[in-house]
Chain A
Amino acid sequence: MMRMPLFIAVAALVAVGGLFLPLVVPNPFYFYAGYVVLQYMVIATGWNILGGYAGYTNFGASAFFGAGAYMAAFLLKAFGAPMLVQLIGAGCIGVILGVATGYLTLRIQGIYFAIATVALVVVLETLVHNTDYLGGAAGLQVLAPAPPAWFGGQPQYVFFIMLVLTVSAVVVARWIEVSWIGRSLRAIRASEPAAECSGVPTLRLKLLACAISGGIMSMAGAPYATYSSYVDPVSAFSLTVGLNALAMPLIGGTRSWPGPVLGALLLASVQQVATVTISSEFNILAVGVVLIAFVALAPEGLLGLRAFRRRVS
């Protein structure tokens, strides 16, 4: 296995590489589409820290994503805050939402957490609906500052931001995975009583996972305000985000970081093509079908299939 400093160096190199992409790829459409793929890599990676490693299913990824998008839009509208501040603000709101949801429900039983995450989407969407300052149901026009000249355009700029977020999320996920935290989360997933009786402070670790997972998913929403220069409740809290967040790790494999990345790459790419060629309603149907197929036929995801073959041979 690659050592952590080397892994971080490779990840940094990927991000720096993205800086030069606008020089070689002239068509901004690719950045527009690539942004969405990367966005889902971040969401899926963040989701997997709680949903995969610890085994707590979050149906409300769109609550976190939407909260992040609206936080960024709010910071832009109110203070004209720069991207970094938007990201930090979104991360904070995600951490707060994650810990609050976890604290209220995780002390009872797993199922209540899942229900609470569904409720969270409804609560936040309703809240935004009724907040005039955030544009209510009609949505909010966002006036993002012009991107740094280097990037040549907004799509190239937000793509780069999302690329940095992606490699950062992957580095965090991998660090958790190889550390004692990941080990404890896997123990929780396998058996909470056995973990607790082995000295694992299970509640504290679940809350930590909620915080990190929520923070990452909300940060994935922050650049959306700039990306689409418009946020509205329906797209910010959309079912697609919530469904993709759990479908992508399940398709790729939930046990380690390449799973969500691979799942997002496959599913989001297919969706990008399908949105252009067929329709976006078709997306949700397709995701649903693929998801059911995987749950039934390959519950350990694509990477699980490979591991299985290795074990059998």
Chain B
Amino acid sequence: MNVLLSVRAVEKSFGAVRALGPVDVDIRPRERLGLIGPNGSGKTTLINCITGLFPPDAGVIVFKGIDITHEPAYRRARRGLSRSFQIPRPFVGMTVLENLLVPMDYLGKGGGSEEIARADEVLASVGLIARRNDPSEALSQLELRKLELARALVAEPEVLVADEAMAGLSEGEIDDILSLLFRLNESGVAVVMIEHIMHAVMRFSERIICLETGKIIAAGTPSEVADNPLVQKVYFGEQNHR
């Protein structure tokens, strides 16, 4: 089986709290993977381990055949691992365009006008081109989510992890982000969607993994996972109030 990113027996604790693992996850090229689980189940922690924001306590992470377990985050990003943040983290004090130039500075492509043309292309694709020269602190919640995605995309990643990119958005806005992620996936990027909005994950994902207290309790097609009694108990039970 062709695997792009492989997570093996990865664990992470914060003090006495075992936040994650051990877990095994494989991400295939061009895949659409959903990652679900109640709040505090370790989804963001898993992504932080994968993208290198902190090192796992144990386990191995292999990306494109290279062991990246001990690589700093910036090097993983340059290898093609991009993410958006659950709470948007725009580079305030910069325009929307400049936000995109930050990752582009490290792509080794050079050429100012080419870079800007590429950034404009990405801004147009996420629908932010009209906001190009505005300070990023002036953006709405939806626009901030789009900026998060645009900044991740401009690096031309092979894997994009969207950490709750739709939280707090209206139905129309959710469709907006969803179609963006679909388009992106069609262009060849593997997308990992962390999401609480069930209908969106179900529609989007080819495969879903459900975490609970740091462990994988179910994995399979969306309908398999939705029918799993464990998932129904821990996840849908909690999510009914949404």
Binding site for B on A (CB under 8 A): 180, 183-184, 186-187, 189-191, 193-203, 255, 311
Whether B77 pairs with A198 at a CB distance below 8 angstroms is yes
| Additional A-B contact list (19), CB under 8 Å, known A183-B102, A190-B92, A196-B72 | A180-B105, A183-B94, A183-B105, A184-B102, A189-B93, A190-B89, A190-B90, A191-B90, A193-B85, A194-B85, A195-B91, A196-B73, A198-B74, A198-B103, A199-B78, A199-B106, A199-B155, A201-B72, A201-B75
Whether B53 pairs with A193 at a CB distance below 8 angstroms is yes
Q: In the complex, which of the residues A184, A193, A200 contacts B89, with contact meaning CB atoms closer than 8 Å?
A: A193
Closest to A196 in B: B73
Closest to A311 in B: B135
For B155, what are the chain A residues with a Cβ–Cβ distance below 8 Å? Answer: 198-199
Q: Report the tally of A-B residue pairs with Cβ distances under 8 A.
A: 78
Shortest B118–chain A CB gap in Å is: 15
| Contact A196-B53, Cβ < 8 Å, known A186-B93, A187-B91, A255-B93 | yes
- A193 to B53: give the CA distance in the assembly, Å: 7
Determine which residue in A180, A190, A191 has the highest number of CB atoms from chain B within 10 A of its CB, and name it: A190
For A195, what are the chain B residues with a Cβ–Cβ distance below 8 Å? Answer: 91, 102
- A312 to B51: give the CA distance in the assembly, Å: 39
Whether A199 pairs with B103 at a CB distance below 8 angstroms is yes
Which residues of B (107-153) have their CB < 8 Å from a CB of A?
A: 107, 135, 151
Binding site for A on B (CB under 8 A): 51-53, 72-75, 77-78, 82-83, 85, 89-94, 98, 101-103, 105-107, 135, 151, 155
Whether A196 pairs with B102 at a CB distance below 8 angstroms is no
For A189, what are the chain B residues with a Cβ–Cβ distance below 8 Å? Answer: 93
Whether B91 pairs with A199 at a CB distance below 8 angstroms is no
For the complex of A and B, 5 pairs with smallest distance between CB atoms: A199-B106, A194-B89, A191-B89, A180-B105, A198-B103
For B107, what are the chain A residues with a Cβ–Cβ distance below 8 Å? Answer: 199
Whether A202 pairs with B74 at a CB distance below 8 angstroms is yes
For B85, what are the chain A residues with a Cβ–Cβ distance below 8 Å? Answer: 193-194, 197
- A189 to B136: give the CA distance in the assembly, Å: 14
- A180 to B94: give the CA distance in the assembly, Å: 13
For B101, what are the chain A residues with a Cβ–Cβ distance below 8 Å? Answer: 183
What are 12 residue pairs bridging A and B, where the CB atoms are less than 8 Å apart in the complex? Answer: A183-B94, A186-B93, A187-B91, A187-B94, A187-B102, A190-B91, A197-B85, A198-B155, A199-B107, A200-B74, A200-B106, A201-B75
Whether B89 pairs with A201 at a CB distance below 8 angstroms is no
- A180 to B98: give the CA distance in the assembly, Å: 10
Shortest A171–chain B CB gap in Å is: 21
SS class of chain A's interface: helix, strand, loop or mixed? helix
- A129 to B155: give the CA distance in the assembly, Å: 53
Closest to A202 in B: B74
| Contact A197-B98, Cβ < 8 Å, known A187-B91, A190-B92, A255-B93 | no
For B52, what are the chain A residues with a Cβ–Cβ distance below 8 Å? Answer: 196-197
Shortest A255–chain B CB gap in Å is: 6
Closest to A189 in B: B93
| Contact A184-B72, Cβ < 8 Å, known A190-B90, A190-B91, A190-B94 | no
Whether A197 pairs with B90 at a CB distance below 8 angstroms is no
- A223 to B98: give the CA distance in the assembly, Å: 39
For A255, what are the chain B residues with a Cβ–Cβ distance below 8 Å? Answer: 93
For A191, what are the chain B residues with a Cβ–Cβ distance below 8 Å? Answer: 89-91
Closest to B77 in A: A199
For A187, what are the chain B residues with a Cβ–Cβ distance below 8 Å? Answer: 91, 94, 102
Q: In the complex, which of the residues A190, A200, A202 contacts B93, with contact meaning CB atoms closer than 8 Å?
A: A190
- A193 to B47: give the CA distance in the assembly, Å: 13
Closest to B51 in A: A197
- A197 to B82: give the CA distance in the assembly, Å: 7
Whether A198 pairs with B102 at a CB distance below 8 angstroms is yes
- A186 to B160: give the CA distance in the assembly, Å: 24
For A196, what are the chain B residues with a Cβ–Cβ distance below 8 Å? Answer: 52-53, 72-74, 77
Determine which residue in A194, A200, A203 has the highest number of CB atoms from chain B within 10 A of its CB, and name it: A194
Whether A183 pairs with B106 at a CB distance below 8 angstroms is no
- A184 to B99: give the CA distance in the assembly, Å: 10
- A255 to B83: give the CA distance in the assembly, Å: 28
Whether A197 pairs with B72 at a CB distance below 8 angstroms is no
Shortest B45–chain A CB gap in Å is: 13
